[in-house]
């Protein structure tokens, strides 16, 4: 019940905001914050209440929904779900704090915002794949409006491109979903039933086409190369809170669902396609990093860095060994926090004040002096993003790389190069934006000071990445345990080369 409360609180917040009369519109952000905090509290207490020695899947709820199609409202959580739910809670709260200054149609903004949050919470706890798909699709439409109506650069184009990519991806998923239902003969959308070979059997030839269709469908949302181009454009066009959501949790919907559904249902298809997908993931790491290196716009740099980091997630998934998989889940969390933080600094702290994101132009503004808190936050986020020890990014990427060493030693070379380029573009952006050499020009209009909500939001995100960096076992233990369950064990294939 505590799990369903997460998305119920988000949807209830959205409904409440829609019912607000016009003169009470400024209350919208307060309601949004309360709703996001409630969601975080529910997610965190579900995480804390997870019995580390009990059954793998806990907090289960199962209610028949459309029995004639074998669809039930079935939610629950293992360690992986809980990690993602807590991430969603953190990003949701931080996102509201960083959009405290939204004054243009705040009711609609926060109602759409909370709808996305609710959908994301729903995906991370659904164990009926129809239900999962319903939540997955709920996220699409609000994204469009949030970007098109409240965004910046090229917003209508960015919003439409992002939406079309999302919908194309989910069309692939829908197709695979229906085919899976028809082929299983189990008359059920329950993930546990479908993944149980004694109840539902998928022939190798079926898996050979259904797996790539479903996996790629999900992976579009995770920014798999070369279907990633929606992400930088969309991230850049989006308002700050939505960039944070997109990079922080929405991209993770893709990788999470790919792991949870596509990989568990079709182990044979997975086996056939893991090498090509791993190559695509590595290409994402390298090209994402290279393109980020060439950007003049700071937000584009961050946007392409997301592609590189999500490449690590997908690479980790394809290793099919415990280290790679658990590192991949950890990286989803870690990049969610760090990506959110980077977008918060670029979008809210800098762009809202300077109205430019051009790295060269920002360099002349002496930002480290005028916005010291922004400089500090961006430095922390960059250091975490580069994967320095002590932050969550290090432990996540390190585990992924050690998993890949066992699975694809050859791919480790380009992936390693990707890590180096990541360091290069991150340092470049950090140095040129905040610590540019040369005589700083006097700024005619000194930017407004960083507000308290921004500081709180940044502190929340920095604390999260630091905590996991220092004490990764908080998350790693439940993640590792999750891969022992009968459902998730199917994806592990210990390569003994």
Partner 1 sequence: MTSLVHSLMPEAILVVAALLVLGLGVSWPGARTPITATALIGGFAAAAAILLFPLDANLLDGMVVLNPLARIFKLVILGLGLAAAVFASESFPKNHFAESLALILFSTVGMMLLAGTEDLLMIFLALELTSIPLYALAAFDKESRSSAEAGMKYFLIGSVSAAFLLYGLSLIYGVAGSTSLRAISQLSGPPDPLLIAGIVLAVAGFAFKVAAVPFQLWAPDVYEGAPTAAAALIASGSKVAGVFILAKLLTSGLGQWAGAAGWGEFQAGWAPVLALMAAASIVLGNVTALVQSNVKRLLAYSAIAHGGYLLLGLCSASADGLTAVLFYVVIYALTTAGAFGVVAVVEKQRGGARLDDFDGLAKSSPVLALCLLVFFISLAGIPPLAGFIGKFYLFTSALANGQHLWLVVVAVAMNAVSLYYYLIVLKHAFVLPAPDDIRPADAPASQALVAALALAVLVLGLAPNLLLVPLMKPDAGKGARSMPCCARGMIDPPPHLATKRFSAGAPGAGY
Question: Residues interacting with partner 1, by CB under 8 A?
Answer: 18, 65-69, 108, 130, 133-134, 137-138, 140-141, 144-145, 148-149, 156, 160, 163-164, 167-168, 170-171, 174-175, 178-179, 181-185, 187, 203, 205-206
- Nearer to partner 1 (CB atom), residue 117 or residue 419: 117
DSSP 315-363: HHHHH-SHHHHHHHHHHHHHHHHHHHHHHIIIIIIIIHHHS--BHHHHH
- Nearer to partner 1 (CB atom), residue 61 or residue 485: 61
Q: Give me the least distance between CB of 440 and partner 1, in Å please.
A: 39
- Tell me the C-alpha distance between 155 and 137, whole Å: 21
Q: Give me the least distance between CB of 123 and partner 1, in Å please.
A: 12
- Tell me the C-alpha distance between 225 and 310, whole Å: 10
- Tell me the C-alpha distance between 222 and 253, whole Å: 7
- Nearer to partner 1 (CB atom), residue 107 or residue 481: 107
Q: Give me the least distance between CB of 254 and partner 1, in Å please.
A: 16
Question: Based on the number of CB atoms within 10 Å of its own CB, is 72 exposed (0-12), middle (13-18) or buried (19 or more)?
Answer: buried
- Nearer to partner 1 (CB atom), residue 213 or residue 375: 213
Q: Give me the least distance between CB of 236 and partner 1, in Å please.
A: 18
- Tell me the C-alpha distance between 127 and 63, whole Å: 12
- Nearer to partner 1 (CB atom), residue 167 or residue 467: 167
- Tell me the C-alpha distance between 349 and 381, whole Å: 13
Q: Give me the least distance between CB of 169 and partner 1, in Å please.
A: 9
- Nearer to partner 1 (CB atom), residue 209 or residue 435: 209
- Nearer to partner 1 (CB atom), residue 190 or residue 397: 190
- Nearer to partner 1 (CB atom), residue 179 or residue 456: 179
Q: Give me the least distance between CB of 6 and partner 1, in Å please.
A: 17
- Nearer to partner 1 (CB atom), residue 96 or residue 123: 123
- Nearer to partner 1 (CB atom), residue 185 or residue 390: 185
Q: Give me the least distance between CB of 458 and partner 1, in Å please.
A: 30
Q: Give me the least distance between CB of 438 and partner 1, in Å please.
A: 42
Beta bridge partner(s), residue 128 = 190
Side-chain-side CA neighbours of residue 88 (13 Å)? 34
Q: Give me the least distance between CB of 493 and partner 1, in Å please.
A: 24
Contacts of 494 (CB under 8 A, 6+ apart): 321, 322
Cα dihedral 191, 197, 201, 207, rounded to 10, equals 70
- Nearer to partner 1 (CB atom), residue 207 or residue 482: 207
- Tell me the C-alpha distance between 58 and 78, whole Å: 6
Cα 12 to Cα 4, 46, 88, 111, 115, distances in angstroms: 12, 19, 17, 10, 9
Q: Give me the least distance between CB of 405 and partner 1, in Å please.
A: 38
Do residues 341 and 246 touch, judged by C-beta distance below 8 A?
no
Do residues 102 and 150 touch, judged by C-beta distance below 8 A?
yes
Do residues 297 and 359 touch, judged by C-beta distance below 8 A?
yes
Do residues 264 and 195 touch, judged by C-beta distance below 8 A?
yes
Q: Give me the least distance between CB of 409 and partner 1, in Å please.
A: 37
DSSP 180-245: HHHHH-S---BHHHHT-TTT----HHHHHHHHHHHHHHHHHHTT-TTS-THHHHHHHHS-HHHHHH
């Amino acid at each position: 019940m505590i799990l369903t409360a997460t998305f119920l609180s988000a949807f209830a917040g959205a409904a409440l905001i829609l019912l607000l009369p016009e003169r009470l519109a400024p209350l919208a952000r307060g309601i949004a914050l309360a709703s996001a905090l409630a969601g975080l509290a529910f997610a965190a207490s579900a995480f804390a209440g997870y019995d580390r020695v009990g059954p793998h899947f806990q907090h289960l709820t199962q209610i028949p929904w459309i029995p004639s199609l074998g669809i039930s409202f079935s939610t629950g959580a293992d360690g992986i779900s809980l990690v993602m739910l807590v991430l969603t809670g953190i990003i949701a709260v931080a996102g509201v704090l960083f959009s405290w200054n939204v004054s243009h149609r705040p009711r609609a903004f926060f109602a759409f915002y909370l709808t996305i949050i609710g959908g994301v919470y729903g995906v991370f706890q659904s164990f009926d794949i129809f239900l999962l798909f319903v939540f997955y699709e709920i996220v699409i439409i609000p994204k469009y409006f949030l970007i098109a109506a409240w965004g910046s650069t090229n917003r209508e184009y960015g919003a439409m491109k992002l939406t079309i990519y999302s919908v194309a991806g989910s069309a692939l998923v829908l197709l695979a979903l229906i085919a899976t239902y028809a082929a299983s003969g189990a008359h059920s959308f329950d993930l546990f039933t479908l993944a149980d070979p004694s109840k539902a059997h998928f022939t190798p030839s079926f898996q050979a086409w259904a797996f790539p269709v479903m996996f790629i469908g999900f992976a579009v949302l995770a920014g798999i190369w070369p279907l990633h181009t929606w992400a930088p454009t969309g991230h850049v066009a989006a308002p700050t809170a939505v960039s944070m959501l997109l990079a922080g949790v929405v991209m993770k919907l893709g990788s999470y669902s790919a792991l949870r559904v596509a990989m568990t249902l079709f182990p044979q298809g997975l086996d056939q396609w893991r090498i090509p997908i791993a190559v695509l993931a590595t290409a994402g790491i390298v090209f994402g990093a290279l393109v980020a290196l060439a950007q003049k716009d700071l937000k584009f740099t961050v946007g392409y860095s997301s592609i590189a980091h999500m490449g690590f997630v997908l690479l980790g998934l394809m290793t099919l060994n415990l280290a790679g998989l658990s590192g991949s889940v950890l990286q989803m969390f870690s990049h969610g926090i760090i990506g959110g933080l980077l977008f918060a600094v670029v979008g809210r702290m800098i762009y809202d004040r300077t109205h430019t994101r051009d790295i060269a132009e920002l360099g002349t503004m002496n930002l480290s002096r005028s916005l010291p808190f922004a400089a500090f936050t961006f430095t922390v986020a960059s250091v975490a993003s580069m994967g320095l020890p002590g932050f969550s990014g290090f432990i996540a990427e390190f585990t992924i790389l050690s998993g890949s060493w066992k699975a694809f030693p050859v791919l480790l070379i380009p992936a390693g190069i990707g890590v180096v380029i990541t360091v290069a573009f991150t340092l470049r952006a950090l140095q040129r934006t905040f610590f540019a050499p040369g005589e700083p020009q006097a700024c005619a209009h000194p930017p407004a000071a960083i507000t308290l909500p921004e500081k709180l939001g940044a502190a929340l995100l920095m604390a999260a990445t630091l905590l996991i960096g220092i004490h990764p076992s908080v998350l790693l233990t439940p993640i590792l345990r999750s891969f022992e369950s009968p459902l998730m064990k199917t994806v592990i294939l210990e390569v003994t080369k």
